[in-house]
Amino acid sequence: MTTPAPLRFDPMDPAYTKDPYPTLARFREEAPVYYWEQGGGPVFFRYKDCIALMREPKLGHDPTLGAGFPPEMKAAFPDFAALRENDLFMVPAASHARLRKLLNPTFSPRAVEVHRAKVTAIIDALLDKFPREGEVDISTEYTRQYPVRVIASILNIPGDYVSEFIAFAESLIATIIPGLPPERFAACMPPVTRGMAIVRELIAERRAKPMENDLMTQLINACDEQDRLSDPELVSLVAGLLVGGTDTTYHGTNQTILSLLQHPDQLALLRAEPSLARNAFDETLRYNMFGRMPFTRYATESFKYEDVAFQRGKPVFLFLMSAFRDPEYLPDANVYDIRRQHTGTHWFGLGPHFCLGASLARMEAEIALQNLLARYPKIELAGEPVYGNHPIMRTMDRLPLRVSASG
């Protein structure tokens, strides 16, 4: 009889990267609350604990981030420091509630539908570059390309600025990578500074000349009585959309395509019923989320949850990827079912921190999946996905497909 290997959490293990779920299942069963020495706090693996602690008001964001940049960082990178200090995730709770009250109507499911034609045009333009028959890297040529172009389009970024806007997005995303070397961080600053200048210019233009069905005009006009968004808040909001609304949509769509190809019955079902595309995206985020690491919260005061003591300022880790595969949450949690009717979309967050751009991301993914399958009656893997070494996400650097427009 083979003795099971001792429990060990190594998020960079290649086997874990490819399929983390056997490891997460063992933790759920054998050590549902596990002290992670490297992270410096307890990790929760079960659904009931993760959801309860997601709702816990005594848990919040990293207090060192809330304190802002140290003086030397502010002096070296003043634009970026201001950007972060107005970030929706960094502002105090009262300011966060005010901003969400102003912004929520602009990002409702009904409100984002006005952008459907623009999203469709971007998706179709990317597909038009593909061969009728042959191999494509769907990750680099499709899913990575469309989210930032969608945001540029719905903001009506002038064509001459789009390449700089994309560089702005890529540099912003790079700055959130934990442990980024100082020289790489500094190299990100020129595109960030230029991107912020473009956004400020856009704000001034829209204040002078509003546009119909234009996201920036909608954000400028967002108001509650006499309260409106300031220019620094608008710039930070656009930056937040680029960080939260591009990478997550990109990796979520990748995982959906891969999961469908790994479950041919579900791919056939989606072809028969294209209206299930949005549901397929949601089910994939539950079943095969692209994360690598647990969600991190910090105790804003010392307290106990059941038998676990939390110390003020210390981290608490919630493994939502594990929680959504917990049979106590769903008896058939290990079944990939795109017909599944979800009572909530917890993978987009809970309560005041529910993802602002969730409706836009779901619409983008819906169109990307529907139009890809409509264009190609036959798609199949042309090789194994190539995973990157991103420290917090299981990113696919390559997802090679063989496509055929003739079936």
Query: Looking at residue 348, what is its pLDDT?
Result: 72
Indicate whether 243 belongs to any domain.
Answer: yes
* Position 281, amino acid: F
Q: Does 269 map to a domain?
A: yes
CA distance 279 to 281: 5
Give residue 124's pLDDT: 98
The number of domains in the chain is 1
pLDDT in tens, 234-277: 998 888 888 888 888 999 999 999 999 999 999 999 999 999 99
Is 84 within a domain?
yes
Residue 244: what pLDDT? Answer: 80
Alpha-carbon gap, residue 69 to 85, rounded angstroms: 8
Residue 279, in any domain of the structure: yes
Q: Quote the CA–CA distance of 304 and 318 in Å, as a whole number.
A: 15
| Mean pLDDT of all residues belonging to the chain | 89
Residue 44 domain flag: no
Q: Report if residue 132 sits inside a domain.
A: yes
The number of beta carbons lying within 10 Å of the beta carbon of residue 374 is: 12
What pLDDT, on the 0 to 100 scale, is given for residue 175?
84
pLDDT at 67: 46
Q: 264 lies in which domain range?
A: 73-293+325-404
Residue at 288 is within a domain: yes
Predicted TM-score of the model (pTM): 0.90
| 157-178 average pLDDT score | 89
Q: Among 62-71, 301-310, 388-397, which is the least confidently predicted range?
A: 62-71
Write out pLDDT tens, residues 355-386: 778 899 999 999 999 999 999 999 999 999 99
Amino acid at 347: W
Q: Which CATH number do you get for residue 104?
A: 1.10.630.10
Residue 138 Ramachandran class (φ > 0 left, ψ -120 to 50 alpha, else beta): alpha
Token look-up 């497909």 returns 401
Q: Quick one: which of 252, 229, 71, 304 has its CA closest to 147?
A: 252
Non-local CB neighbours of 171 within 8 Å, separated by 6+ positions: 188, 189, 191, 192, 195
For residue 229, being part of any structural domain is answered with: yes
